[in-house]
Amino acid sequence: MEDKTEPEPVLLSKHAKNLLRFLNMLPARMASHDNTRSTIVFFAVCGLDVLNSLNLVPPQLRQDIIDWIYGGLVVPRDNEKRCGGFMGCRAMVPLTEDADVLACMRKYQWGHLAMTYTSIAVLVTLGDDLARLDRKSIVDGVAAVQRPEGSFSACIDGSEDDMRFVYCAATICHMLDYWGDVDKEAMFQFIAKSLRYDYGFSQELEGEAHGGTTFCALAALQLSGQLHRLDAATVERIKRWLIFRQMDGFQGRPNKPVDTCYSFWIGASLCILDGFELTDYAKNREYILSTQDTLVGGFAKWPQATPDPFHTYLGLCGLAFTGEPGLSAVMPSLNMSMAAYVHLQHLHEVWRSKSKEGSEDNDLAISSAVQHQLKLTKDGEAIATTTATTSTSPLISAQ
């Protein structure tokens, strides 16, 4: 007998209200995340954008968010370390005029790569012109935390360094259309050496292949104009590793449970490599919807778990890749909506018209699906879905 059961709907309005709440008030359980508050704002703002619901953010709140973001900008003085960028919270910005306290706190004010990436992305998504940024100062801060082997630390002092911050460095330089003293060759060599025997990328050298860091590696290569340096056979083997991460939803590593966020990490990686159509859209959607909170909105990592902004946003992006109605198209490597990406390209054109410092590497060799969505966006047509990619894989035929 034919199964006529209607598929479970994506509760778009509830997810929008859920994300909007995180812009107004955070639950007590998230107090420990205060130092990464910029990332919460990123998931909420960009999630509303993918939901085509930024109109729910009142003009005054939108301006307040922009001003709050700029409040975390660190511009080093001439006698200070190159530590430009954004902080994740305002704990190091005390409300005092005491010169001794301010001088003490100044020593701990430095940019953090992840917070700088998410802060700039929020500004772009909200339509800011980035006129208050000193692009050179920020990229100097990025170059200052690059390690000899090509990786990057999160900040100038006391931080781990791995593939996550390689990705953040690439996004910052690409969005600012300026690479300065960043050593892209060293970055490429670090990424290449992190490719494991099974053709996923690890977080650090000699580590285990992981879905999240495979995305970081591939996106960093694309954003730096170096994706073409992977030969065709290697690309096909990476695709194979990624495709094998699908159970119903996607897992991050072999023999691990599936998790909503990997619908983005693995899905975006396959979009970058023009291979997303080789996945099972229906199974992916079914798993993501199993983590949907039908009462208050939001997605969780697992069914029956508590939803959060991180999994809500990445779950929405994963659904956008499958062509879910009502969702805006997503630019995979920058992890923002295609509409925000078009605004960013406009800023690049303005900057390049004023100077010659723009990087030709920012003219991305993007996949056929992204090219199509980019054309639709620039032409002002409605963007409700992300079209399937066109696979050129000689190993696995499209289904």
Lowest-confidence pick of 82-96, 105-119, 333-347? 82-96
pLDDT score for 89:
83
Residue 220 and residue 187 in contact, taking contact as beta carbons nearer than 8 Å: yes
Based on C-alpha coordinates, what's the Rg of the chain? 21
Residue 210 has pLDDT above 90, yes or no: yes
The secondary structure element, H or E, covering residue 162 is: strand 161-162
* Cα–Cα separations (whole angstroms), residue 381 to 50, 322, 324, 325, 378: 16, 19, 17, 15, 8
Selection from 118, 117, 50 nearest residue 264 by Cα? 50
Helix (H, G, I), strand (E, B) or coil at 152: strand
pLDDT score for 29:
84
- Rounded to whole angstroms, how far apart are CA atoms 149 and 170? 16
Longest dimension (CA), the chain: 78
pLDDT score for 2:
52
Residue 268 and residue 226 in contact, taking contact as beta carbons nearer than 8 Å: no
Q: Report the DSSP beta bridge partners of residue 273.
A: none
Residue 216 and residue 243 in contact, taking contact as beta carbons nearer than 8 Å: no
- pLDDT bucket at 90, cuts 50 / 70 / 90: confident
pLDDT score for 315:
98
- pLDDT bucket at 91, cuts 50 / 70 / 90: confident
Tokens for 44? 């909420």
Burial grade of 136 (CB within 10 A; 0-12, 13-18, 19 or more): middle
DSSP string for 182-214: --HHHHHHHHHHTB-TTS-BBSSTT--B-HHHH
User: 266-321 pLDDT, tens per residue?
Assistant: 999 999 999 999 999 999 999 999 999 999 999 999 999 999 999 999 999 999 99
pLDDT score for 392:
36
User: 324-378 pLDDT, tens per residue?
Assistant: 999 999 999 999 999 999 999 999 999 999 886 545 556 676 776 677 777 777 7
Cα 133 vs. chain centroid, distance in angstroms?
20
Phi/psi for 329 (5° steps) reads: -65, 150
Q: What integer is the mean pLDDT of 189-194? A: 98
The secondary structure element, H or E, covering residue 85 is: strand 85-86
